[in-house]
Structure 1
Amino acid sequence: MRQVIVHADADAVAQATGARLLLALGDAVALRGRADAVLTGGTVGIALLEAAAASPLAATVDWTSVHVWWGDERFVPTGDADRNEGQAQQALLHSLPLPEENIHRMGASDQFDSAEDAAADYAREIAEAGTPTWDVLLLGLGPDAHIASLFPAHPVFTGPTAETHAVHDSPKPPPTRVSLGLASINRAREVWVVAAGEGKADAVRDSLRRSGVPGGAVDGTERTLWLVDVAATTKV
């Protein structure tokens, strides 16, 4: 079931989604003894992690039972400012009693010879963890309606899907990336798409209409939330 929740502005999207994430993780641990969350980068994606870090709800989560994953990553060296995991570390993860072994980072270009190798290694890590059913999978939405590193008309999006993909010739720099595939994304119990700003309005409209864009191809098995601001809904 798709639900569209409209907030006043980008800050409200971040604040509300940060709190929502903490509650969802706490519920997952209470119900199943473990939570698996897939994080995203981007302006709103990192802002919601900062909001979660500042929330008193963070202290209510048993972080030893939470595992953190990523939907995509830029294939650049460890420590590069473009890496989603580094931004997430600074925004939230460094402030949590989260065991290092519970943080599942995608490989960097100084660790693997190719994005293919990094993607294969991440698929192996997912399999070794029992191929988790993600409790919450967060996605940002690009102005072209891309999600993770799946871009409209790109062969990785239009071709066969897999657990992970190496992405080359990304239309958004940097050009080489690693991404979860639709098969993995749509395994999530809940998929949350966050978007804010008038520049995302066309992408939100096309995705909600399922107009053949990546944003329209994602759904959680139990729930799909579109967490957007007023400006992002002006074309809907």
Structure 2
Amino acid sequence: MSAADQVEVEVHPDAATLATSVAGEVVRRIEDAQARGEVPQVGLTGGSIAVRIHAEIGRIGPESEVDWSQVVFWWGDERYVDRDSDDRNARSARSGFLDALGVDPARVHEAPALDSGLSLDDAAAAYGQEVREHGAGAFEVLMLGVGPDGHVASLFPGHPALAVDDAVAVGVPDSPKPPPGRITLTFPALRRSRAVFFVVSGEEKAEAVARALAPDGTVEETPARGVVDPGADSPTQAIWFLDRPAASLL
């Protein structure tokens, strides 16, 4: 089955309902993986919708069958700021559910922060090496937001990082949205996922969603198209979780 045959679209009335649905599906997939005897690895994202999802996981997590001490967490990208900066994607997840649910800190793999003293490139290389050493070969679930320009993680339209195929993670020193310094997983790393959840809320992202799901288009213009290659056989399932405003141009 081609990746194109495995793309699903779910449209929810609003951002709150969307977040509830995504959180429930993430928890269910973690439960299923643990029932198979696996230690699931989950890729998290950032942004306002992620804050809602984190809060909902924190709410339903204690009542689930998940052993939260046996789940491994990563991020698809991270802002290169100090570890306790409000801009850090990881800080949102820590406060939203990781700290409250008893996740083993050794299984939470944050990218290095600015106050680590590493250069951006060295920090990206260190994160890539951590994925190689502690990753299980694939994410059980990878969550990705999509920007109004069609970017995913910190892979932006027209950026040289789109073409990187020989590294797990790269530094992006010139992000078109602040803060400028980012660490991002590359397409080859993002594609190593059993399921990718594209989570998109808001009318300002409707055009990017429509471009990403259109029959024709380029990854250079809309990087979200590059996570799951529709022209190749792939085990990856892609689910687009949208609210009505984000789906308004489909």
Which category of TM-score, normalised to the shorter sequence, fits these structures?
over 0.9
Q: In the alignment, what sits opposite 1:193?
A: 198
1:76 aligns with 2:76: no
Identity %: 36
> Which ranges of 4 or more aligned residues in structure 1 deviate by more than 6 Å?
none
Q: In the alignment, what sits opposite 1:214?
A: 223
Which of 135, 139, 148 is residue 134 of structure 1 equivalent to?
139
1:170 aligns with 2:175: yes
The residue type equivalent to 2:48 in the other structure is: T
1:85 aligns with 2:85: no
Q: Out of 214-223 and 10-19, give the one that drifted further.
A: 214-223
Secondary structure class of the residue paired with 1:69:
strand
Shift of 1:131: 4.7
The answer to whether the Cα contact below 8 Å between 1:22 and 1:58 also exists between their aligned partners in 2 is no
Q: In the alignment, what sits opposite 2:237?
A: 223
The answer to whether the Cα contact below 8 Å between 1:64 and 1:98 also exists between their aligned partners in 2 is yes
The residue type equivalent to 1:211 in the other structure is: G
Q: In the alignment, what sits opposite 2:26?
A: 21
Secondary structure class of the residue paired with 1:227:
strand
Secondary structure class of the residue paired with 1:133:
coil
1:88-103 map, 5 Å: 88-103=93-108
Shift of 1:162: 2.5
The residue type equivalent to 2:241 in the other structure is: L
Secondary structure class of the residue paired with 2:245:
helix
Which of 43, 54, 78 is residue 59 of structure 2 equivalent to?
54
Q: In the alignment, what sits opposite 2:14?
A: 9
Shift of 1:57: 6.0
Q: In the alignment, what sits opposite 2:248?
A: 234
TM-score by length of 2: 0.90
Q: Following the alignment from structure 1 to structure 2, what is the Cα–Cα distance between the partners of residues 179 and 72?
A: 4
The residue type equivalent to 2:128 in the other structure is: A
Shift of 1:32: 3.8
Q: Which stretches in structure 2 are left out of the alignment for 5+ residues?
A: 1-5, 229-233
The residue type equivalent to 1:231 in the other structure is: P
Shift of 1:172: 0.6
Q: In the alignment, what sits opposite 2:231?
A: none
Q: Following the alignment from structure 2 to structure 1, what is the Cα–Cα distance between the partners of residues 117 and 36?
A: 37
Q: Which stretches in structure 1 are left out of the alignment for 5+ residues?
A: none
Secondary structure class of the residue paired with 1:137:
strand
The answer to whether the Cα contact below 8 Å between 1:164 and 1:181 also exists between their aligned partners in 2 is yes
Q: Following the alignment from structure 2 to structure 1, what is the Cα–Cα distance between the partners of residues 38 and 10?
A: 28
Cα distance per residue 1:76-99 (max 9 Å; x no partner): 111011000011111111111111
Q: In the alignment, what sits opposite 2:42?
A: 37
Which of 182, 187, 190 is residue 182 of structure 1 equivalent to?
187
The answer to whether the Cα contact below 8 Å between 2:209 and 2:247 also exists between their aligned partners in 1 is yes
Cα distance per residue 1:97-126 (max 9 Å; x no partner): 111101001000111321111111111111
Q: Out of 52-61 and 166-175, give the one that drifted further.
A: 52-61
Cα distance, 1:171–1:161 mapped onto 2, change above 3 Å: farther
TM-score by length of 1: 0.95
Q: In the alignment, what sits opposite 1:148?
A: 153
